[in-house]
Structure 1
Amino acid sequence: MAMQIVLLPGLLCDKAVWADQLSALGEYGECHVPDYGLRDSIGAMADHVLASVPAARLLVAGHSMGGRVALEVMRRAPQRVAGLALLDTGYEARATGAAGDAERAKRLALLELARAEGMRAMGEQWAPGMMHPDRLGSDLYRSILDMIERSTPDKFAAQIDALLNRPDASALLAEIRCPAMLVCGSEDRWSPLARHQEMHAQMPGSRLRAIEHSGHMATMERPAEVTTVLVEWVQWSLEQEAARG
């Protein structure tokens, strides 16, 4: 079977987060965007991804929480990953002590809001921090609220559990040898560029691309720029795969 390209969405995201990349990347291989269902751990999500795509070799890209799933796919099945792209994401476990407690409290407060007033009401409080301030109130902003509203409080609860108990991938970064691309909105306030620079420094041979005038939702905020970077990554990965024989 030809190479498959796996595009992993983030928290409360679905296929819409990759809509602008799918056609361009589809010229290089079949694209698959998994649905995590009610899986409540990053590991279970990674297992689902590996079970749901049959190709022996995969190109795996993950946005936000999906980047953490991509790293867990790499941990579990490095022999299957021909290329890795991590977008607007992170790699460390939840902090201990007060910082970790504060993260938990904030996430659970959003879940309480979603259960009490609905997913869109929760999204109206949560989404503004995920994109560049210039885009608040735009059609794009409303489309992100629509995407959040398509999810459910039960899915939100499962994904919050997954993130609160996320594995630490720090030790994994130095072991990654496939073509690895790091992508981040230059003004991402959730997963800042500085974090991606740290990852880049720990991943030998990786490439880092900042997407200017973009917040956390870079694939949707600056779709053409992100697509260009991901096409570069796919071509790089395929060249390395061909050299590998």
Structure 2
Amino acid sequence: MSTERSPLLLLPGLLCDQVAWAPTAALLSEFDCRVPAWGSLDTIEAMADHVLATTPERRFALAGHSMGGRVALEVLRRAPHRVSHLALLDTGYQALPDGEAADKERGGRAALLARSRAHGMRAMGQVWATGMVHPDRIGTPCFDAILDMIERSNPDQFAAQIHALLGRPDATALLSDVRCPTLVLCGRQDTWSPLSRHEVMAARISGAVLSVIEDSGHMSPMERPEAVAAAMRAWLARPAVDVPAPEVSS
């Protein structure tokens, strides 16, 4: 892929903004790095449509972190001919499970939302982000930057994004159809989106490269930007594959 300011879309996760990608993007300055904002969008599908509608170039490289990885897969489902490269970081691909697991996830997210409304976003973030990062990051400037980022959002945006995640589409069948160069990346200590899930994703995508970031939790682009940028640069150097645009029926 050409490195002459090629578009590189960096999709953020739940309650994340451009700061989630900033340390890694700064190390990839040869690319035209862009981080969309989700605003009040409340479905993964609407987020994917937003990405496509606000990117004028025909083709672009696409990296999604956490919830952004799910959005990236939905972009690929909608417009595979526009995605030259795909990177999935600390994320997942399955829909909300049935039964007790679904009840547990709904309850956990509802409790965090209730805390954000009662005590504020930063107080909620103190609880939530503690389990998101490597234990060594707690209390560091990196951790403070995560809390600052969470505080820039509000409970209504949090509720919209929770709605999106609880209604997330299943991308299991899509993985075997991916044809573009793909990077699957995960922090070794990511307990939110564990390495085992990424091993399955990488095995299901033909030619995917699995990169494990040592000494990192879920927020790998902020926690270990040098390692993440190195893995992404190698991924972006792989030649793109032409995927024909779908035929439009008359």
- Tell me if TM exceeds 0.5: yes
Which one-letter code corresponds to 1:22 in the other structure? A
Q: 1:13 aligns with which of 16, 39, 45?
A: 16
Separation (CA, whole Å) in 2 of partners of 1:50 and 1:77: 8
Task: Give how far 1:100 is off.
Answer: 0.3
RMSD, matched Cα = 1.5
Report the 3-state secondary structure (helix = DSSP H, G, I; strand = E; otherwise coil) of the residue aligned with 1:110.
Answer: helix
Q: 1:26 aligns with which of 23, 26, 29?
A: 29
Task: Give how far 1:156 is off.
Answer: 0.3
Report the 3-state secondary structure (helix = DSSP H, G, I; strand = E; otherwise coil) of the residue aligned with 2:26.
Answer: helix
TM-score, normalised on structure 2? 0.93
Q: Contact 1:59/1:82 (CA < 8 Å) preserved in 2?
A: yes
TM-score, normalised on structure 1? 0.95
Q: Contact 2:85/2:236 (CA < 8 Å) preserved in 1?
A: yes
Q: Is 1:143 matched with 2:145?
A: yes
2:99 is matched with 97
Output aligned runs, 1:116-195, within 5 Å. 116-195=118-197
Which 4+ runs in 1 deviate beyond 4 A?
none
Deviations 1:159-204 (A, max 9, x none): 0000000000000000000000000001100000000000011001
1:221 is matched with 223
2:248 is matched with none
Q: 1:4 aligns with which of 7, 16, 20?
A: 7
Deviations 1:69-108 (A, max 9, x none): 0000000000100000000000000111011011001101
1:240 is matched with 240
Q: Percent identity?
A: 56
Q: 2:88 aligns with which of 86, 89, 96?
A: 86
Which one-letter code corresponds to 2:125 in the other structure? G
Structure 1's unaligned 5+ residue stretches are: none
Q: Contact 2:24/2:222 (CA < 8 Å) preserved in 1?
A: no
Separation (CA, whole Å) in 2 of partners of 1:134 and 1:25: 25
Q: 1:231 aligns with which of 230, 233, 246?
A: 233
Which one-letter code corresponds to 1:83 in the other structure? H
Task: Give how far 1:240 is off.
Answer: 2.8
Separation (CA, whole Å) in 2 of partners of 1:93 and 1:157: 18
Structure 2's unaligned 5+ residue stretches are: 245-250
Separation (CA, whole Å) in 2 of partners of 1:25 and 1:48: 24
Larger relative helix fraction: 1
Task: Give how far 1:48 is off.
Answer: 0.2
Deviations 1:88-147 (A, max 9, x none): 000000111011011001101110110111000100110101000111111111111111
Task: Give how far 1:234 is off.
Answer: 1.2
Separation (CA, whole Å) in 2 of partners of 1:135 and 1:24: 20
Q: Contact 2:179/2:241 (CA < 8 Å) preserved in 1?
A: no
Separation (CA, whole Å) in 2 of partners of 1:20 and 1:138: 15
Which one-letter code corresponds to 1:228 in the other structure? A
